[in-house]
Amino acid sequence: MREIIFDTETTGLDPKTGDRLVEIGCIEMVNRVTTGATFHAYFNPDRDMPAAAEAVHGLSITFLSDKPRFHERAADLLEFIGDSPLVAHNAGFDFGFLNTELEMCGLDAVCRSRMIDTVALARVRHPGAKLSLDALCTRYGIDRSHRTLHGALLDAELLAQVYVELTGGRQIGLELAGEAADTLVAASVPLVRRDRPLLPARPHAPNDTERAAHAAFLETIKAPLWQS
């Protein structure tokens, strides 16, 4: 199954009040394994960058001033994500900005039925625990030492690893398919012969000789723990 892990950086918290999307990073996964295919873009928001937002992601208006507007890359983005499920951390936030930008371009919004929220998954898996991306990376031993500021593609890469852990662990992508798998599975199932009578269960209680031998062995142990 193909899925897209994505993250966004913005000028603020609410697209309804004029905040804009300034960066998006997407990573393709197939059967919970990253393929190496990515989509990454910065966008000129045509507005100022609040200091609080810049402190989070480090993207200044000077840096973004020569970047394309969202509508210039919208077609490329939509082609990359296709009709795949979209996975994000606190996904409602990212979907809100993505769909606002799409609607401003006169394009259809991405249906929220495609949304997979890793915060919701983590809340079920780890009730009462901290659910930030940093906290989940710590919980699962994912190295984030190279993350000094938020960045859409970097955060998507970390989230991809977190998502695998939240949905069953790294072994989930180790799948067998086709005739080779059928042969291996068949070979691993022991054959049961139905033409032989069932034997009675073997007694497992020790007899007198075995109990005496065990007692003699215990006598040879000096200062046993069970007598301390």
Catalytic entry in 57, 146, 150, 214: 150
Q: Strand pairing of 86-88 and 2-10?
A: parallel
- 204 assigned to active site: no
Instruction: Measure the CA–CA gap between 208 and 35, rounded to whole angstroms.
Output: 64
What are the φ/ψ torsions at residue 154 (nearest 5 degrees)?
-60, -45
Token digits of residue 198? 């069932």
Question: HEC states along the chain?
Answer: CEEEEEEEEECCCCHHHCCCEEEEEEEEEECCEEEEEEEEEECCCCCCCCHHHHHHHCCCHHHHCCCCCHHHHHHHHHHHHCCCCEEECCHHHHHHHHHHHHHHCCCCCCCHHHEEEHHHHHHHHCCCCCCCHHHHHHHHCCCCCCCCCCCHHHHHHHHHHHHHHHCCCHHHHCCCCHHHHHHHHHHHCCCCCCCCCCCCCCCCCCCHHHHHHHHHHHHCCCCCHHHC
Active-site positions read 150
